[in-house]
């Protein structure tokens, strides 16, 4: 059921022991929002604990209270009054859903979230779930400490590509300014978030080497198979290197995480990629979306590019002639 922010705040006020979680393959908004709400809830006398059923990219380990995040153990059960799911629909939280039977409250900004089986406060106009967290803190009369502000700012910054993407709105910048007044150091966050290991930069070299150009240049993609992927912890930011290409409307990164388990990330300049992701049982936003394809990398590439091409044609973004243009590869190693 769709509820308001006030109703969400009331449900939180009525609970005492609250478990917080966010999506697997967590990003800055997922970790920032859960850690911020954990501190907000503790500051108003609640018992709050974050569980994330995944590893977290090293760049986010600097966030205040990061070390308190737990991963659910096999068969673990936790006594709680409320499970608060942030920055995702309830189907992408791994095994956290199994550790408690508490009612679920969902707070999210994904346009594809329909809130099945729970109370959902959703605002697809918000640039990040962290925008909603800031408003929730005000609604709960919590004081925004420098640590809370740092977590919220991180979610705003990462979901907007440091206030550059089209989801950046006046409210986003207004909240960011208020957070800086609360003690955030923007340079500290951007330095940590943009830091890469040598391994990650080497991974990017492999990815660029596997660049393919579809439909005469309107779509570009990078495919990384399991043999390469198993050597790299993260592909964060790879897609940003190709979405900037002048001819590109849609850029994608296709990674084979396990045999027959492929992850898709998409970014766009005009096309609604949430529509493409939804067609493939995924979700996201107009300009950034993703899905999982349970098939080989070659099959995933075929299905994904056909789906992108057909939906772009239906949207008038691709002519039939462009759709039938041969795929080009750029093997820089040759």
Binding site for ligand 5GP (CB under 6 A): 23, 25, 27, 88-89, 92, 112, 265, 282-285, 288-292
The site for Mn ion, by CB under 5 A, has a size of 5
Residue 272 and residue 54: Cα distance in Å, rounded?
Answer: 28
CB of 161 to ligand 5GP, least distance (A): 11
Residues in 18-37 at the binding interface with Mn ion, rule: CB under 5 A? 29
23 binds, among ligand 5GP, Mn ion, none (CB under 5 to 8 A by kind): ligand 5GP
Tracing tokens 């940003």 back to the chain, one arrives at 240
200 binds, among Mn ion, ligand 5GP, none (CB under 5 to 8 A by kind): none
Give pairs for 97-102: CB < 8 Å, separation 24+.
98/72, 99/19, 99/51, 99/72, 100/19, 102/19
For 265, how many CA atoms within 13 A lie in the half-sphere containing its CB? Answer: 18
293 binds, among ligand 5GP, Mn ion, none (CB under 5 to 8 A by kind): none
Exposure string (b/e) for 59-91, b if CB count within 10 Å is 16 or more? bbeebbbeeebeebeeeeeeebbbbbbbbbbbe
Partnered with residue 83 across adjacent β-strands are: 19, 104
CB of 142 to Mn ion, least distance (A): 21
Tokens of 214: 């579809």
With binding defined as CB under 5 A, does residue 159 bind Mn ion? yes
CB of 42 to ligand 5GP, least distance (A): 26
With binding defined as CB under 5 A, does residue 87 bind Mn ion? yes
CB of 75 to ligand 5GP, least distance (A): 26
Instruction: Output the residue with the shortest Cβ distance to Mn ion.
Output: 29
Interacting residues toward Mn ion by CB under 5 A: 29, 87, 128-129, 159
């Amino acid at each position: 059921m769709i509820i308001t922010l006030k109703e969400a705040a009331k449900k939180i006020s009525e609970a005492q022991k609250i478990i917080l979680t966010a999506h697997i393959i967590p990003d800055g908004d997922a970790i920032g929002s859960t850690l911020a709400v954990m501190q907000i809830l503790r500051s108003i006398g609640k018992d709050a604990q974050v569980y994330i059923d995944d590893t977290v990219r090293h760049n986010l380990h600097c966030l205040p209270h990061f070390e308190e995040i737990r991963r659910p153990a096999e068969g673990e059960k936790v006594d709680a009054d409320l499970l608060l799911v942030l920055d995702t629909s309830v189907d992408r939280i791994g095994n956290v859903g199994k550790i408690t039977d508490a009612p679920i409250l969902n707070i999210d900004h994904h346009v594809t979230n329909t809130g099945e089986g729970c109370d959902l406060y959703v605002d697809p106009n918000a640039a990040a779930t962290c925008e909603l967290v800031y408003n929730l803190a005000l609604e709960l009369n919590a004081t925004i400490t420098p640590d809370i502000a740092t977590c919220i700012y991180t979610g705003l910054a990462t979901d907007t590509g440091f206030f550059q993407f089209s989801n950046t709105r006046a409210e986003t910048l207004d909240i960011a300014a208020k957070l800086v007044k609360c003690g955030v150091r923007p340079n500290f966050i951007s330095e940590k978030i943009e830091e890469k290991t040598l391994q990650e930069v080497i991974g990017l070299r492999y990815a660029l080497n596997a660049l393919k150009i579809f439909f005469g240049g309107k779509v570009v993609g990078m495919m990384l198979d399991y043999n390469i992927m198993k050597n790299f912890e993260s592909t964060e930011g790879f897609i940003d290197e190709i979405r900037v290409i002048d001819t590109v409307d849609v850029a994608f990164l296709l990674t084979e995480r396990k045999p027959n388990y492929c992850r898709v990330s998409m970014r766009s300049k005009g096309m609604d990629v949430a529509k493409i992701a939804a067609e493939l049982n995924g979700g996201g936003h107009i300009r950034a979306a993703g899905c999982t394809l349970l098939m080989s990398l070659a099959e995933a590439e075929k299905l994904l590019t056909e789906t992108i091409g057909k939906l772009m044609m239906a949207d008038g973004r691709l002519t039939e002639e462009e759709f039938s243009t041969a795929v080009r590869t750029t093997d820089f190693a040759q």
